[in-house]
Amino acid sequence: MFHVYVLRSLKDGKRYIGFTSNIERRLLEHHSGDVSSTKNRRPLELIYSEDFSNKQEAEEREKFFKSGQGRAELKRMSL
């Protein structure tokens, strides 16, 4: 199982989009400051996640959310 997730920084309001095979571990890494791209943007909250059965689908969805169209979709979803 793979997961695409969206975090929001409570410090600056910006979103972080990622994917992982172990969402619990990955969230712990973000919250503890082990991820360089979110280290200085803590605290973070998980605002969205989707589950996928394979890595390729999760990577494609992550890439979509990082595109202009995907960011617009997240905005429409009020995320």
HEC secondary structure over 10-60? CCCCCEEEEEECCHHHHHHHHHHCCCCCCHHHCCEEEEEEEEECCHHHHHH
Mean pLDDT of 3-27: 98
Q: What is the structure's pLDDT at 78?
A: 85
Mean pLDDT of 49-58: 98
Q: What is the structure's pLDDT at 9?
A: 98
Query: Would residue 36 be called left, alpha or beta, if left means φ above 0 and alpha means ψ between -120 and 50 degrees?
Result: alpha
Domain-wise residue ranges, the chain: 2-76
Q: What is the structure's pLDDT at 79?
A: 78
One-letter amino acid for residue 72 of the chain: A
13: its two tokens: 């309001």
Q: What is the structure's pLDDT at 58?
A: 98
Q: What is the structure's pLDDT at 71?
A: 96
2-76 CATH: 3.40.1440.10
Mean pLDDT of the chain: 97
Mean pLDDT of 15-39: 98
